[in-house]
Structure 1
Amino acid sequence: MAGKFAVKSLDHLVLTVRNIPKTVAWYTAYLGMRHEVFTSPTNQTVQRHALIFGSQKINLHQSGKEFEPKAQDVQPGSADLCFLTDQDVETVLQAFQEARIEVCAHHSRKRIKH
């Protein structure tokens, strides 16, 4: 499978938490991260929360009120990694299928089942 595509960078990490305000308070006070409130391009009525540090971002999901797409079996403390690649999703999907890696369709994005 090597050579078909490569991960370029981490886009963001999603962290599922029990309490967003307490999580924001801890990460900003003790780790110096910046809190950002944003809306999704597909649903601009719902406020979302992220923690920013350097060029990295951790999106926060409230346990039991996660946003789609999300990891399959989320629990408080679980994480979902989102990577960027220069290849389109169909090329990545084809490479995984050729390697017999199971891929689950999840709304408009493709998810890799580990």
Structure 2
Amino acid sequence: MISHIDHIVLTVADIERSVAFYVRVLGMQAVSFGNGRRALQFGQQKINLQTLGMEPRNHAAVGAGDVCLITDWPTARVLARLAAEGVPVLEGPVTKSGAQGPIESVYFNDPDGHLIEVSRYPD
């Protein structure tokens, strides 16, 4: 019935600050859609951004997200990028279980405190 994730939504305090972080640190592309909404495009997926109260149907909280992103970069390169951007690593590299098997993961927080996991499947 379900084939893949199209998008997720993160609730943030400042949309443009979040756009700048994800573009600068993770190389995502900033896009606009709908009535001026903002999102971050990567591959065939995107992260839509909202501020508290924009979507009354959910129980959003700033910084409550936990997202795992897959990279084709070696983990050492990911760590070097985070260090160069001044992003503290919370944990990793560590071996975790991904949707398709074992992954090597690095964890850090975005500016709002969302837990971001960047992971790589072994070659």
The TM-score, its normalising length taken from structure 1, stands at 0.52
Q: Who is 2:3 aligned against? A: 8
Bigger radius of gyration: 1
How far, CA to CA, are the matches of 1:76 and 1:10 in structure 2? 21
Choose which of 47, 62, 65 in structure 2 pairs with 1:58: 47
Tell me the CA shift for residue 11 of structure 1.
Answer: 1.7
RMSD: 2.2
1:49 equivalent to 2:38? Answer yes
Tell me: higher relative CO, structure 1 or 2? Use CA pairs within 8 A at least 6 residues apart.
1
Identity %: 38
Q: TM-score, normalised by structure 2?
A: 0.48
Measured in 2, the distance between the counterparts of 1:12 and 1:36 equals 13
What is the letter of the counterpart of residue 77 of structure 1? G
Structure 2 gaps of 5+ residues are: 66-123
Match of 1:78 in 2: 64
Task: Summarize deviations over 1:41-69 as a string: whole Å, max 9, x none.
Answer: xxxxx310110011110000012x32354
